[in-house]
Every structure is written in C-alpha cells, then in structure tokens.
C-alpha cells in the first residue's frame, strides 16, 4: 500500500548503503525522491528500476548546494515533505596524531552540511508540515577512541535534532534522528581501510552487538520511513538507535 503517495523526499548520500535503501523505501511507499550524492554512477544504480527516484549529483559541502538541492526538488515536484540528512564520512585517528584538515572535512560533511540543508529546506517543510531526519550513530553515545571527531560530530547532530524539534514544533515540523550501529555499508572502503582493517572493525563491532549480527541498510531505512509516516505523527526530538542493542549492551 502506498502510504506516502505524492510526498516529496530529499535523501543525501543516496548512492550506496543506507541512503540507497532509504531512497528505495520511500519510492516503494509512493513518494517522489530526490537522491543526492557526489557520484553519478552510484546514484544511477539507486534509481535503476525505481522511476520515482530522481538522481541529483552534488557535493553537499559546497556553498551553493543547499539552495540547488531545494530548488531542484521544488522545480520538479512543487513541495518538500521530508529531508533525510544521511550523507556522512568517517575517519580515524587519535588526538595525538590530529589531522586538522581531515577533521574539518568530517565536520563539514557530518554536521555543517545537514545544518545548511535543513535551513535551506525549512520554508518548504513548514508549508507541508514536514519532517527532518538526521542519520547519526549509536556509538556516538559511548566512547569511541580512535574515531573521536566522527563520534563528536554525529553526537552534535543528535543535540541539534533535539533543539530543532523544540524550535520547530510550533511551526508544524517534526525533527528526529536515527542512530545506526554496525551496518553492512561501504563506509569502511570509502574510509580507505584495508580488507584486514575492515575485518578487525567488524569483529570489534560484533563483539559489542548483543544481537550478534551486522545490520542491513534496509533495517535503518525501515526506521527512517516509519518515523516520517502518519503513524509517527506524535514523535519528535527522538534519537532512535538501530544497532542490535549496541548502546545498551
């Protein structure tokens, strides 16, 4: 049953992983999706066989991207109902070996870009009584030595979620976050980790995941889709872990 017929959804980082699964989940529910990413080929794969998905190649950290993305959605579909701030990059490194340029890139992508996109889309979301979904990380709620900048940026996005929820509730806009744990996505490859390093990370993650498995992108996409549904109309300001119990384990 198409529960989001004619709704318009913007999904960033839609070329792979959680973003791809989320774009397809909304499309399957009847929504028109603007799928944003840096690389055209993965976006085309996301949209293949899904006529309600429109790929849009853009770097979300560029100064003109927020207005460009919003304008593309409005010009094509005339409205914006949901903004999913999913795009993110990970990076490692301990404080003693701080790489300031790498830290700035992470914060620009994981924290500032979602803020700027939400600002640019706000008028459209107010018009429709829409929803902002921020994709963060459950591990950010615990210590994450070796990836502290990544965890800090995502935890800051949790805080923005709660603050925006209170600010925007009187204007009819809900703001929520989904905090994935260990999910089967290419983020380790994008981070430049070797197969051996990725294996070690997975073993560490599994040892701290009570359900004993790595999640699927579709597990997270389901949560995002549900939080944007009419059934969740009284939910705002929440940060929902989708992590196999990692936060409480």
Residues with catalytic roles: 150
Spatial CB neighbours of 245, under 8 Å, sequence gap ≥ 6: 209, 210, 211
For 150, list phi and psi in degrees, rounded to 5: -60, -50
For 192, list phi and psi in degrees, rounded to 5: 90, 15
Phi-psi region of 212 (alpha: psi -120 to 50; beta: other; left: phi over 0): left
Give me 61's structure tokens. 């950290």
Q: 3-state DSSP call for residue 174?
A: strand
Are the C-beta atoms of 99 and 147 separated by less than 8 Å? no
Cα 36–67–112 angle (5° rounding)?
A: 75
Q: 3-state DSSP call for residue 77?
A: helix
Are the C-beta atoms of 95 and 143 separated by less than 8 Å? no
Eight-state DSSP code of residue 27: H
């Amino acid at each position: 049953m198409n529960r989001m017929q004619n709704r318009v959804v913007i999904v960033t980082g839609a070329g792979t992983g959680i973003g791809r699964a989320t774009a397809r989940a909304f499309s399957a529910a009847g929504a028109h999706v603007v799928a944003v990413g840096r690389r055209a080929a993965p976006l085309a794969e996301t949209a293949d066989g899904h006529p309600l998905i429109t790929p849009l190649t853009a770097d979300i950290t560029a100064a003109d991207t927020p207005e460009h993305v919003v304008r593309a959605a409005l010009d094509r579909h005339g409205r914006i109902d949901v903004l999913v701030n999913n795009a993110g990059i990970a990076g490692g490194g301990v404080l003693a070996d701080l790489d300031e340029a790498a830290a700035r890139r992470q914060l620009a992508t994981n924290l500032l870009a979602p803020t700027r996109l939400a600002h640019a889309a706000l008028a459209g979301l107010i018009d429709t009584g829409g929803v902002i979904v921020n994709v963060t990380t459950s591990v950010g709620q615990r210590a994450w030595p070796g990836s502290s900048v990544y965890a800090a940026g995502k935890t800051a996005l949790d805080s923005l979620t709660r603050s925006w929820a209170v600010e925007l509730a009187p204007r009819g806009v809900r703001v929520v976050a989904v905090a994935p744990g260990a999910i089967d996505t290419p983020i380790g490859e994008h981070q430049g980790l070797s197969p051996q390093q990725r294996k070690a990370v997975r073993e560490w993650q599994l040892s701290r995941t009570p359900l004993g498995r790595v999640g699927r992108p579709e597990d997270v996409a389901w949560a995002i889709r549900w939080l944007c549904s009419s059934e969740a109309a009284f939910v705002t300001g929440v940060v929902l872990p989708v992590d196999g119990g990692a936060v409480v384990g």
